[in-house]
Structure 1
Amino acid sequence: MPEKQNDSGRSDESRRLRLGVELELIAEQLRSLARAQDRLHDLYEAVLGRDVDLPVVLQLIVDTAMELVGARYGALGVLAEDGAYLAQFIPVGLSEQERADLAEVDFPRGLGLLGHLIAVPESLRVDDIPTHPDSAGFPPGHPPMRTLLGAAISTRGQIYGDLYVAERRDGRPFDAHDEALIVALAGAAGLAIDDARLYEQTRLDAERFQRLLLPRLPDLRPFDAAAAYCPASTPGHIGGDWYDALLVPDHACAAVIGDVVGHDLQAAAAMAQIRNMLRALLYDQRTPPSAVLARLDRAPQAITDQPVTTACLARVEPARAGSWTLRWSTAGHPPPLLLTPDRQARYLPADPDVPLGVDTAQPRHDHTHPLPAGATLVFFTDGLFEHPAHPVETGLERLAVLATEHAALPLPDFVHALADHHPSDGHDDMAILALRIPRT
């Protein structure tokens, strides 16, 4: 009898242990589901928040997939328009050495198991890749992989691409729980990608609209002029930077650079209104820049809500034979940069008057400076030099050095060199206008 009681006790203890293990597995799955829910929520919040550029979203989808199932590798393949092959492939998890080993190998085009997912857009779970009938092997240098889990991503009823993960970090094959997570993520990813693509198209349309508002510089001979505009790197940022240059009736060359406060279509539309009004005032009046800015400041008050705008308006006027005079007025705008023919750079500082749209009662002032023949004037907006990690003075100093380094370039190449190598962090859009004074 005692032996039977011992056997029964051991059996009860064994059942309790098995039950404890099963409960712990259930608890771990519940924790995993909670983490998955949090990650899916974070993914969609990222799309609804700032990180809405499509490449950022695609990378985030792969990172989320790998974290959800504990995978060592992950990838996302984007199908070509005809859906026949992968036009884009985003791998994640490769080491520096693995990337170097695959440097000469083209990204997958959709053969083997990747092609299986293209042909059969359903979830795919493989425990032993080499033995799968659709396996096509790996190229030289590819890290060894045995297990694979994939799911198709759809947007608006069309297959957009495929999401893959490979090799669980614990060495076990992917299970049905992992598959359910990846399928759920692929569904959420389709919504996120669709929103990102819509946002990207809207941003491109807005940027195209803004570029259409900017002028094509007219023939300014005997002056040479060039301009460049670059949108901000910040997603959704549409700015009000603008420039213009024209010959006015009294044989002077007028140049203006401005920045409407705001980062939306309203700022861009306001920029177009102000620029067109300024053009009319320049043709109508042979008056100093300060008087033109004062009238520009007053006129919109009567017809529309004028946003705060910084601007620098300049006139290059002929002086005695072979020389020129710069006359300018600034409404809260950075000073122009003067490059002399011997490639010396200096800013033309002057106490700036208040921006447009602030106080029409404040006086506006003119400033003058002689210009040597062959000199270059550079007008620009603050997006070209401002950086949150540096003082404004540091950005201006670096811009001056950059200008001297490229001063010998033809003017179109010069302005693009400034735009390409700008010392700012790119958070704001930037406009550049360069005017070269005749040598004779």
Structure 2
Amino acid sequence: MALHRSRRSESADSLLTRLGRLTAQAREGAELQQARVELAEALQREILPASLPELPGLRTAARYAPARDGLNIGGDWYDGFRLPGGALGFSIGDVEGHDVEAAAFMGQVRIAVRAVAAAAADPGEVLSRANDLLLSVDCDLFATCTFLRFDPVTWEIQSARAGHVPGVWATADGRYGIAEDDGGPPLGMLPGSRYPVTRRPLAVAGAFVLLTDGVAEGPSFPIDAGLERVAEVVRDGALCDPGELAAEVMKVADSTGHEDDAAVLVLRHDGAPDRAGGPHRTGG
């Protein structure tokens, strides 16, 4: 009887030792994962721009939100910069995957688009050259991207898409929609890819909004429904302050329960300049 109790005691001790070892391993794994998340967050903060460029008649704003579970971070970005000749360039994108590697590759994509845009005026050519540049670094990741060029002379938006979520637009006269423009494959996938360019004259005051799929898509929430909701938000806030509109669009991500990080970039524009040199300020 005493021998039986002794064996049971040894068995219990062995089980407790094993549980203790597994608990320690789980703790180490969780701490390692948390460290990687914190590093990805730090990379994200450093890579995203502190401010966005503006021009008379064009105001801009952006928002970024990590995923709800805190683990899917590092892949989404937005950017804005001045181009030769007075135009402005804007990009938004989403890198495949998450964590530190995605955050680092996101920085490479953002820099590649900036560098190419300084030498190529056509948005389609910008994406095509950026695609070839990223393929040359032999990385296994790829990225969706929209690049947009705002021309203050013609007062139009020229844009191209690389597998990215369509933008959303609205004007002061009540019109709005989803910009289902033709596009090409994501960056870093296929050599020699080409990207069609869409040109939009900004005749009436309004807003053009770029976003990542984390804004409009979530568990059991299809992206089409999310884009329609974003379009309604942009319609109702087309003449709002761009920061306020960006915050309202980001609330759509909150309602979808997004499992991905999310980014929004808002261009709030006045109407096209008249012959006297001033912008048409329709309703705002």
TM-score class, shorter? 0.7 to 0.9
Who is 2:282 aligned against? none
Contact 1:344 1:404 in 2 (8 A): yes
1:438 to 251, 254, 270: 270
Runs of 4+ in 1 over 6 A off after TM superposition: none
The one-letter code of the counterpart of 2:142 is: V
- What is the CA-CA distance between 1:326 and the residue it aligns to? 1.8
Amino acid at match of 2:247: H
TM-score w.r.t. length of structure 1: 0.53
Superposed counterparts of 1:196-235, under 5 Å: 199-200=33-34, 202-222=36-56, 223-235=58-70
The correspondence of residues 254-265 of structure 1 with structure 2, limited to 5 A, is 254-265=89-100
Which residue of 122, 132, 145 maps to 1:298? 132
**Alignment correspondent of 2:224:** 393
Match of 1:236 among 63, 71, 82: 71
TM-score (norm 2): 0.80
Amino acid at match of 2:85: D
Structure 2: give runs of 5+ residues left out of the alignment.
272-278, 280-284
Matches within 5 A, 1:68-87: none
Q: Distance in 2 between matches of 1:363 and 1:198?
A: 41
Map 1:41-440 to 2 at 5 A. 44=23, 48=26, 192=27, 199-200=33-34, 202-222=36-56, 223-285=58-120, 287-305=121-139, 307-318=141-152, 324-422=155-253, 423-439=255-271, 440=279
Q: Is the 8 A contact 1:385 1:395 kept in 2?
A: yes
2:44 is aligned with what amino acid?
Q
Residue 421 of structure 1: CA displacement? 3.8
Matched residue, 1:123: none
Aligned partners of 2:137, 2:37: CA distance in 1, in Å? Answer: 29
Q: Which amino acid aligns with 1:297?
A: N
What count of residue pairs does the alignment treat as equivalent? 258
Once residues 200 and 407 of structure 1 are traced to their aligned partners in structure 2, the CA distance between those partners, rounded to angstroms, is 39
TM-fit CA distance, 1:297: 0.8
What letter corresponds to residue 301 of structure 1 in structure 2?
L
Q: Deviations over 1:97-124 (max 9, x none)?
A: xxxxxxxxxxxxxxxxxxxxxxxxxxxx
The answer to whether the 8 A contact 1:248-1:282 is kept is yes
Q: Deviation string for 1:211-256 (max 9, x for gaps)?
A: 1111123432222111111111234322211111122122222111
- Matched residue, 1:124: none
How far has the Cα of 1:208 moved from its partner? 2.2
- 1:245 and 1:380 mapped to 2: Cα distance? 14
For 1:420, what is the secondary structure of its paired residue?
helix
Q: Secondary structure at the match of 2:209?
A: strand
**What letter is aligned with 1:241?**
D
Equivalent residues of 2:169, 2:234 under 8 A apart? no
> Could you give the per-residue CA deviations for residues 284-333 of structure 1, whole angstroms, max 9, x where no partner exists?
23x2100111111112322342621111111122465xxx2221111111
- Higher CA-based Rg: 1
**Whole-Å Cα distance in 2 between the matches of residues 364 and 195 of structure 1?**
42
Q: Distance between the aligned counterparts of 1:312 and 1:352, measured in 2?
A: 9
- Tell me how far apart the structure 2 counterparts of residues 229 and 391 of structure 1 sit (CA, whole Å): 21
Return the alpha-carbon distance in structure 1 between the equivalents of residues 186 and 156 of structure 2: 24
Aligned counterparts of 1:210 and 1:279: Cα–Cα separation in 2: 17
Deviation of 1:430 after TM superposition, in Å, equals: 0.7
Query: SS state of the match for residue 84, structure 2?
Result: coil
1:283: how far off?
1.6
Q: Secondary structure at the match of 1:346?
A: strand
SS at match of 1:316: strand
Compute the displacement of 1:410 (Å): 1.6
State the match for 2:274 in structure 1.
Answer: none
Residue type of the alignment partner of 2:53:
D
- Contact persistence 1:242–1:271 (CA under 8 A): yes
Contact 1:217 1:246 in 2 (8 A): no
Contact kept in structure 1, 2:128 and 2:192, CA below 8 Å: no
Contact 1:224 1:435 in 2 (8 A): yes
Judge conservation of contact 1:217–1:225 (CA < 8 Å) in 2.
Answer: no
Q: Displacement, 1:345?
A: 2.5
